[in-house]
Amino acid sequence: MSRVSLDTYYNGFFKVNDENLPEEFREINRGHVISSEYYDIQFGRNSLIYRDKIHRLVIPTEHDVAHTLIVYLHYFFEKNKCDIAEKTLQERISKTLTFLSVKYKFEEH
């Protein structure tokens, strides 16, 4: 099964491309959100996928016994070369998971 392109989602959900508007989120399903800032985040059992115009990043995750999503973002940046700032990516992931009301934490090792 192929993934729907980000352009298709974006054009379907956000008609106005005005940078002065506050960021909006739209839930595709329980584990997938698109932002009006032109990125989407989808998480599953073992990974979190971040997509924007340039990037498609697969970040390792796991769930602990308290049903908290643990995001290994620091580990991802140690093992992969990426031109997006770690802080920017962490903020986007945080906003998205907060929108979904998901308990999460970033693991530093």
Nearest CA to 34 among 19, 45, 23?
23
Amino acid 109: pLDDT: 62
62: in domain: yes
Instruction: For 63, list phi and psi in degrees, rounded to 5.
Output: -115, 135
Please give the pLDDT value at position 1: 38
At 48-67, the pLDDT tens digits run: 999 988 889 999 999 988 88
| Tally of structural domains, the chain | 1
In a domain, 67, yes or no: yes
pLDDT value at residue 88: 94
- Whole-prediction pTM: 0.83
93 found inside a domain: yes
Asked if residue 1 belongs to a domain, the reply is: no
Residue 43 within any structural domain of the chain: yes
Of the candidates 35, 28, 31, 45, the residue with the CA atom closest to the CA atom of residue 89: 35
What are the E-state strand segments in the chain?
Answer: 25-29, 32-35, 39-43, 47-52, 56-63, 69-71, 104-106
Strand partners, 104: 69
Distance between CA 104 and CA 109 in Å, rounded?
A: 15
Domain residues for the domain of 32 are 6-106
| Tokens coding 106 | 């970033």
Rounded Cα distance between 8 and 13, Å, is: 9
Give a yes or no: residue 55 inside a domain: yes
Q: What is the pLDDT of residues 3-47, one digit of tens each?
A: 667 677 677 677 656 566 788 888 888 899 988 888 999 988 899
In-domain check, residue 82: yes
Let me know if residue 91 belongs to a domain.
yes
